[in-house]
Structure 1
Amino acid sequence: MDFNNLIEFLKALNSNNSKEWMDANRKWYKEVRSEFVEWLDHMNVTLAGIDEEYYDTPGKKGINRINNNLMFHPNKPIYKDHFGAGLDKRPFTGDFYVEIGIERCIMAGGFWRPDSTTLKSIRDAIDYDGDELQKIIDRKSFKKVFGGLYEDSKLIKAPKGFSNTHQHIELLRNKTFAVAHEFSTNEVFMDNFDRKVIDVYRKMLPFRRYLNKAVSVA
């Protein structure tokens, strides 16, 4: 896809973040959104070809709205400075998130501050088999791509029902179980960008599968 067109649109929108500007440039927005959806469709087919458990997620189903949620964040601009989407979006699991923005491009996955029921399921899985998760995040290839778990606030003490002396207490204290890899915007324009997305997806897969198994209702 022509990511140059997408980035130029986002730059212009960011400089004129108003409904009036968007209404005047609706044709441009629809063109860029359509191109992004087509790229998502391409990645959807590509990722399904390398992962037998992949959940079919067409671009129109995966793409997020470009409007910010002003009900919960009234001080944010009307529109986002990026296009975002979720792929491999099986219900009640953590998807593979893609964000293309002005300053950066992010590939992420897992659970960002999940609800209490989901969080308890993840912690129960760690209590039962935390060694497996620790082994995944300790791999050199994993650390090279993601560094470690996404940095977020943690509990000061052990969560309810767990001991402060638990062998995996550092994992249990997390409120967020997610990882992210950041690209520069320039990398998006390179011929091998799709291959980089695929590589990040592959490296993240064991982590996401561990979490998705933990929260599975099956």
Structure 2
Amino acid sequence: MRIYPETFTFLKDIADNNNREWFMAHKDEHDRAKENVIEFAGELIKELSKVDPNLDASLDPKKAVLRIYRDIRFSPDKTPYKNNFGIGKLTSGKNVMHIGYYMHVQPGASFIAGGSWMPENDQLKKIRQEIDYNADALKAVVDEPEFKQLFGEFRKQEQLKTVPQGYSADNENIGLLKLKSFVAEHSFTDKEMMTEGIVQKIATICSKLYPLNVFLKNAVS
């Protein structure tokens, strides 16, 4: 299973023609591209469930593929359609809806991500508390050489400009405690995404994300 060239072509075209008239005239192309991504999501769910036993292998891939329609109600950008397909709802267990995996399919910008993006305040407090109590467990994951090679420096995500309440600036783990998100991502070229075996490659990479999700899940449970 792979992403077909026609899917990337559709996404490139809608980026250049982001209006309802063009979309309705090319709806068949959208439907074929979406079906490709749904099939891709089905294989990805199957492979990820082998890596992460907490991920529901029976998840309907149709429900995992996000809508292409943008929510423009509160956005200054009024273009109606996304120029990508997202595969979400790949959560790492029950009651941890913000901890899991996300697959992004976009020409020149495809990636797999894991962890927790901008957790809500109650979860954020629990994660910071776990870091304060058990930072060595997280550092053993994110400072591991292969993790850094695949995902880069974990601490270079967006951080608070000030010290979080309840912690001191001289805390040895302040770089982790100031994080607003706890996400790692790995990018893929279009050529990689269009090559057979890419789903298995993504799953192998996610095996390195799994320990991060375990740490976060334990923190909020």
TM value normalised by structure 2: 0.90
Unaligned runs of 5+ in 2: none
> Does 2:26 correspond to 1:20?
no
> Matched residues in 2 for 1:149 and 1:98: separation?
19
Per-residue CA deviation, residues 117-146 of structure 1 (Å, 9 max, x unaligned), is 111111011011011101111101101100
> Matched residues in 1 for 2:206 and 2:3: separation?
22
Give the residue type in structure 1 aligned to 2:127.
I
Shift in alpha-carbon separation, 1:93–1:115, aligned structure 2, 3 A: closer
Give the residue type in structure 2 aligned to 1:60.
K
Give the residue type in structure 1 aligned to 2:26.
N
How far did 1:161 drift?
0.9
Equivalence for 1:70: 72
Equivalence for 1:169: 174
How far did 1:197 drift?
0.6
Percent of pairs with identical residues:
29
Give the total of aligned pairs: 216
Higher relative contact order (CA 8 A, sep 6+): 2
How far did 1:108 drift?
0.6
Unaligned runs of 5+ in 1: none
> Matched residues in 2 for 1:13 and 1:62: separation?
21
Q: CA RMSD in A?
A: 1.7
How far did 1:87 drift?
5.1
Say if 2:155 and 2:176, in contact at 8 Å, map to a contact too. Answer: no
How far did 1:212 drift?
1.6
Q: Secondary structure at the match of 1:20?
A: helix
Give the residue type in structure 2 aligned to 1:52.
P
Say if 1:108 and 1:180, in contact at 8 Å, map to a contact too. Answer: yes
Per-residue CA deviation, residues 77-105 of structure 1 (Å, 9 max, x unaligned), is 32111111125324434121101101221
Q: Secondary structure at the match of 1:191?
A: coil
Q: Secondary structure at the match of 1:170?
A: helix
